[in-house]
Amino acid sequence: MILIKKIWAVAVTTLMLSSLYAQTTPLRVVSYNIFNGFDFGKDTLRQQKTAQWLNHQSPDIVGLQELCDYSTDRLAREAQGWGHEYSVLLKTKGYSVGLTANRPIQVIERMTNGLWHGMLHCEVAGLHVFVAHLSPDDYQIRGREIDTLLSRLEPIATAGKSYLVLGDFNAHSPFDADLDSQRPKLLESYRMSDAKSNVYNHLNDSYFDYGVMSKLLAFGLIDVCARFVQHDRRYTYPASILIGSYRKNTQHVVDTRERLDYIMASPDLARKCVSAEIGNGEGTDLLSDHFPVIADFSR
């Protein structure tokens, strides 16, 4: 009888501690552009290392971009590598985006019409989550894409619901303007690129465009990394993996650093953000050309 009581006491204590842990452990969100779907599925070693890195992060929600040559089965299989049983893919052609989670995902809308790569709108863990990958070539196209996103977001915000907008926006934030002014070689590279095109303009009047991110900020979205990441560490691209192809050497990588990837939160959710970081250390330098963005929210 005494033994039974002891077993019962241990069981109750374990349940109480598990419940307390679940309530106090932050909700971790990761956004990651994985660089051409790990070379369209051929670079299995890089995929495995990325899965290991994600698994080590213990994320609850992961938004992914550049899911090239992905099927729903492939995404589901890879998501299990970081402990996620649920996953959603936007499309199976071109540069797709996706969402994985450790709890059920409800698809609200797959948006592709009139969009460069497309966007995914889902609900998971009581949050509306938008995964976006905006045009890499033209600031005006990016602006129209953000208008489309905000048209979907407005009724959600009006209803007082919590939401996240994350992904690769290919756009600069006004919070980083001082940093941009210290990167003349980055600006020059964009000017040269625009000069070669008769159709697209990445720059606005030959300078960095801040209109896209300003629209999100004006709507009321909060840039969590701007609050937690020191300005000199606030870059998400490029990584050293590009040396030998799109970058000449390490100095070329440093000279062209910029922040293109974001996690943006509704004001109520931003107040619950306990930490945010950009994983631009050595551990991710050869996993992708972009660095991941991570944010933790109290539950």
Q: Which helix H or strand E contains 284, and what residues bound it? A: none
Q: What is the pLDDT of residue 199?
A: 96
Domain residue spans of the chain: 27-297
pLDDT-based confidence at 24, cuts 50/70/90? confident
Q: How far apart are CA 30 and CA 61, in angstroms?
A: 6
pLDDT at 23 over 70: no
Q: What is the pLDDT of residues 67-99, one digit of tens each?
A: 999 999 999 999 999 999 999 999 999 999 999
Q: Which residues touch 9 (CB under 8 Å, ≥6 apart)?
A: none
Report the top-level CATH class of 27-297: alpha beta
Segment 203-226, tens digit of pLDDT = 999 999 999 999 999 999 999 999
Average pLDDT over residues 28-55: 98
Task: Express each pLDDT in 225-272 by its tens digit.
Answer: 999 999 999 999 999 999 999 999 999 999 999 999 999 999 999 999
| Cα atoms in the 13 Å half-sphere on the side-chain side of 217 | 14
pLDDT(5) > 70:
no
pLDDT at 44: 98
Tell me what pLDDT residue 9 has: 47
pLDDT number for residue 282 = 84
Using pLDDT thresholds of 50, 70 and 90, give the confidence band for residue 281.
confident
Look up the pTM and report it. Answer: 0.92
Residue 22 predicted with pLDDT over 60: no
Calpha distance 129→299 (Å, rounded):
16
The confidence band for 2, taking pLDDT boundaries of 50, 70 and 90, is low
Sheet holding 97-101, edge to edge: 86-89, 97-101, 61-65, 27-33, 293-297, 273-278
Confidence grade of residue 19 (pLDDT, cut at 50, 70, 90):
very low
**Is the Cβ–Cβ distance between 215 and 260 less than 8 Å?**
no
Residue indicated by tokens 């938008």: 130
Q: Is the pLDDT of residue 12 over 50?
A: no
- Whole-angstrom CA distances from 24 to 17, 95, 296 are 10, 37, 11
Of 81, 87, 133, nearest in space to 106 by CA: 87
What is the amino acid identity at position 62? V
